Amino acid sequence: MSTLVVILLAVLAGCDHVEFPNQGNITEPPDTTNHAPVQKVMLEEFTGQGCGNCPGAAVTARQLKNIYNDRLILVSIHAGWFANGGNPWVPGDLSCAEGEEIDQSFGISAVGNPNGMVNRKAANGSVVLGPDAWGTQVADILDHTAVSADIEISADYTGETGQITADITVSYLQDLSGDYKIVAAILEDDIVAPQTNYDGNGDPDYNSPTENNYPHQHILRGHMNSTWGSDLAPGSVASGTTTQVSYSMAKGETWDPSNLSVLVYIYEVSTQEILQVESVHID
């Protein structure tokens, strides 16, 4: 077998052919009339412009978003081979250093795309989950997790200085023990750029094998306070207390400020599991 054939087989193995399930019958939409704090879930979808099966996973993520509305927050992370060496367009154009570091730390690229994480919580012994497992994991977390913290975000962009600012208040609703960190990141919607899109496992609404005007959504653009965040509540914290923090960063040169959001999540350091997550559009 030639070296070229071996390389091609390895690449195809990393972008597996999988049948994505219809996620529409998992649960009823949540009651959004009650404005009391609720548990939310973060789905990190790892992808790349060179991954032809990844648009099908994005369809699955959108199906789940339609079910859970504001209780599910989607993050699309372009990282690994399909975002760089296997990207036939501008390598790394939709990737960022923090996304690459998360990808490497959790071994997403080593498993292959499309894959993701739901609150970075393991299921069946693995934190890396294929699209067919996302719906079950989201439902399980929301059904069995009592809300223990609430996050409020005030975010704005100042055109004169080019700075994005986020003022964040965390309210603790239970006594907590452990080492918690907070991460503030920037997401961008409606980035129109090419995407490999295969028949069968791609998005049927777009051209195959390549869609030149694919709308990339909730793209991780960067972190305001480093990849792994800042100390929030080391040791223990009592119910009824609050923590206030503020972060700022310069807007990226190509980012459209009208399409930006601030994403904030809290996680426990020893387990890496997400405790709570919130996202707001930047004013």
Parallel, antiparallel or unpaired: strands 242-250 and 191-196 = unpaired
CB 82 within 8 A of CB 47: yes
pLDDT at residue 15 in the model:
52
Q: Give, in words, the CATH class of 37-146+185-222+255-281.
A: alpha beta
pLDDT at residue 103 in the model:
97
Query: Consecutive 10-residue runs of the chain (283 residues): their mean pLDDT?
Result: 39 44 41 70 97 97 97 97 91 91 94 95 95 97 95 96 97 93 98 96 96 97 96 88 96 96 97 97 92
pLDDT at residue 20 in the model:
44
H runs (alpha helix) in the chain: 3-14, 54-68, 97-106, 108-111, 131-144
Q: Rounded to an integer, what distance in angstroms lies between the CA atom of residue 203 and that of residue 120?
A: 26
Q: Is the pTM of this model over 0.85?
A: yes
The tokens 């930047």 sit on which residue? Answer: 282
Degrees to nearest 5, angle at CA 90 with 87 and 93: 95
